[in-house]
Structure 1
């Protein structure tokens, strides 16, 4: 196995110094500057879901069908998969900060371009590029967040950040509710302005993100230990000045064989042969959440319009109700992932949402309670599912060696989403177009099944990661240590 670019061996206490810090303004800056990636994704996905019915109407300025909306959703997901894999590898090679600035820039440019769509093929292209930027964000941002947040807070913070996707969904739906009002804004203009919401917010985030430092953990492995020490010194001084806390001396050290570069083949080989059960766990969690979430999110507007007669201008109001339920799930349950534990809470989220999806299917078929009966059960389903989805990203970020962290996130996101996130929107889009409730119910049942599989795999192979230092959960490839399961 190659040791490309090996330089020297060092002993560092940087991880222990970071994990002992009390919560401070610095951590809020990380949460706001990096966690906003999920808000942006929520804006993007919800925007398309909200405007989907409007885009298919005469006079929208974009002659596109309901079936093509499903194709556009799938193309966005393909772009996210490609972006995650490409930028994930670059993030592990060139650092977290360079890539989380680059991927946000790509997202901004592609979102602005989407607003000027004039034909389906152009819309598909800009959705692919927007997805590529968001997919790259997942890899760069989640790896940086987990390496900067103290271990005792990592679960709840990760779930809250990933759950902020739904805060973006609420904002996008609220904005669309105004912009899709044909009495206030022309039909062919409102949906274009809706995409401007995401671009404007992204520009503000870019300004905040510039002040987030590079991950010290990444720096000391790649031969830049002096820079890592300087960044941690600055963080500690800021924490002491703002909180008045007296910091304990770090009680742990880590010995690292530094390397400027680590080969992709070495990363992939170690990550997926040393931890085969963890690999299957990551795959199961991502396939389950990707199918159910992408299927419903991209097609909820057309489903409400087709089966419940909800007009395109009112669809965003229902998105707000649904997204608010999704946002509260990780917020309310997140603390339990650090206290009760990862395995029981992730299993509960997946298996519980699978059971409620069966109830949702029955309500949809029998039309029990009409529109609001359907919405009530839908919100209950995704209250649990949203916590599980957020925990999937947390899981793959924690359970693999640091050198592979961004690539692991990218790999499982891409493979899981390629299997579940592409087939879900396509299947739902086509079955909704059929106008048959029975056929749409089949898609709901498939979603329940894949979520149940994720929950069962978590029960079998889940990792006890709560409160543990990242280097204890999975020892860096450049160290001699070995993590315990």
Structure 2
């Protein structure tokens, strides 16, 4: 087999992308979903546990000298900051060295940092490893979304991507219920329970790491790196497994590409591609990420505090309420995901963002009038987040499919980092005071800011969203290495 360096610049014709896109859904695709997508469950579990056990961590006897505000404010901001830095660092390496190598490394980093968080003895240690946990998960976003989109057939890509990103909330449900156990001092000592929640995440992550070993490298990435024979072997093996499962031959693929293999893509070329040739798509990606980041990273971090401050809900019971809204978050992508492949991206992305924003404005109005109880506020949040979660998941789907192959991981990393930095770092720091002040007007303002940004992003999507449903990635954005695409016209906007 020729090395990538020797093959760089060689031109050849391939039908591998078309062969991957024409595959029917199979057990092999389920193995990809399980191997790559389940890490979001761990992320959801950990983030939720940290928010729900903040009150316990701040109590004397927890074994950690830290305040509740430091957990929900400083530590939350550091986690998100780590994710932003990690996305950019690992994203570049993912485009250079491959999807598989990086999604193995980033999961290992994530697990090691989580394990070390469990043995925290000081605030600075807790802060450091919250940052490093985020550093690992930021790389996961780039590597995993790239690999999933390049392995899943075009007819299923939208719903699969949404459900996988939405599975964060399965973990959030588990984290909410787990925090109830962790906060129960009749079952566990107050300096042990919260540590075991992190340790459990490590155990589950190790299982995922073992399953992930069987996931292949992206054949699409291999093609442009001078490893076309390896790509052919992977795709042929997949086809044999699916034909054996279905008991019939696969349909003929439609379309070929003429590719000039390359060794690397420079930062300058990536920047020119994203911000010049695809500038309208860049505005779309930034808008979607900022809107969802403010809604989730800013406001939901304070949900437990709102229940305690305004409704006198005991800290140990907030997990029940959060489990309900977390379930609503997952049901949204699960039920609406198919519509992103049938009704279409533009209609669904814009409508989910706008509906969630308008409903959140309504929730803010009812809250300001004192018309909501803890139960009805939770119900309102459930409805808002049913739509918002599908919209937020579509932000990751959008930036992973609307830019060329050679820039995919870096594009995901950049828009995730930029949008999350605006909403995810500043949000917890700003809104920790608003939602924790105990003043109705401050909390209403927090709701209104999140709602306004979601509506603004929905309007941007209504005009700029790309009709990517059921189209191959190469048709949506022609790879930089493609010299000729006989069945698809090159697209730049």
Give the structure-2-normalised TM-score.
Answer: 0.96
Instruction: Give RMSD over aligned pairs.
Output: 1.4
Q: Which residue is 1:119 aligned to?
A: 122
The reply on whether 1:214 has 2:223 as its aligned counterpart is no
Please, which runs of 5 or more residues in structure 1 have no aligned partner?
none
Q: Distance in 2 between matches of 1:54 and 1:48?
A: 10
Q: Distance in 2 between matches of 1:136 and 1:76?
A: 13
Tell me, what secondary structure is at the counterpart of 1:182? coil
Aligned pairs for 1:311-350 within 5 A = 311-350=314-353
Indicate which of 484, 487, 491 corresponds to 1:483: 491
Tell me, what secondary structure is at the counterpart of 1:355? helix
The reply on whether 1:25 has 2:27 as its aligned counterpart is yes
The reply on whether 1:275 has 2:278 as its aligned counterpart is yes
Indicate which of 32, 51, 54 corresponds to 2:53: 51
CA deviation map 1:439-480 (0-9, x unaligned) = 121111110111011100001111000000000000001113
Contact 1:368–1:374 (8 Å) recurs in 2: no
The reply on whether 1:424 has 2:427 as its aligned counterpart is yes
Q: Distance in 2 between matches of 1:160 and 1:423?
A: 27
Q: Which residue is 2:417 aligned to?
A: 414
The reply on whether 1:304 has 2:304 as its aligned counterpart is no
Q: Which residue is 2:132 aligned to?
A: 129
CA deviation map 1:311-349 (0-9, x unaligned) = 221111111111000000000000111111000111111
Tell me, what secondary structure is at the counterpart of 1:11? strand
Q: Distance in 2 between matches of 1:484 and 1:106?
A: 36
Q: Distance in 1 between matches of 2:463 and 2:435?
A: 35
Q: Distance in 2 between matches of 1:201 and 1:247?
A: 36
Go from structure 1 to structure 2 and tell me whether the alpha carbon gap of 1:425 and 1:5 turns closer, same or farther (over 3 Å shift). Answer: farther
Aligned pairs for 1:89-168 within 5 A = 89-168=92-171
Contact 2:277–2:492 (8 Å) recurs in 1: no
Q: For structure 1, which segment, 147-156 or 419-428, has the greater mean C-alpha deviation from structure 2 after superposition? A: 419-428
Contact 2:299–2:447 (8 Å) recurs in 1: no
- Report how many residues are paired: 483
Indicate which of 352, 368, 373 corresponds to 1:370: 373
CA deviation map 1:425-446 (0-9, x unaligned) = 1112122332212112111111
Give the structure-1-normalised TM-score.
Answer: 0.97
Q: Distance in 1 between matches of 2:367 and 2:248?
A: 55
Tell me, what secondary structure is at the counterpart of 2:109? helix
Tell me, what secondary structure is at the counterpart of 2:13? strand
Contact 1:139–1:407 (8 Å) recurs in 2: yes
Shift of residue 4, structure 1, vs aligned partner: 12
Q: Which residue is 1:459 aligned to?
A: 462
Q: Which residue is 2:15 aligned to?
A: 13
Q: For structure 1, which segment, 341-350 or 259-268, has the greater mean C-alpha deviation from structure 2 after superposition? A: 259-268
Shift of residue 272, structure 1, vs aligned partner: 1.8
Q: Distance in 2 between matches of 1:65 and 1:437?
A: 23
Shift of residue 129, structure 1, vs aligned partner: 0.3
Q: Distance in 1 between matches of 2:210 and 2:413?
A: 25
Indicate which of 227, 230, 233 corresponds to 2:233: 230
Shift of residue 298, structure 1, vs aligned partner: 2.2
Shift of residue 484, structure 1, vs aligned partner: 6.0
Please, which runs of 5 or more residues in structure 2 have no aligned partner?
none
Q: After TM superposition, which residue ranges in structure 1, 4 or more long, deviate above 6 angstroms?
A: none
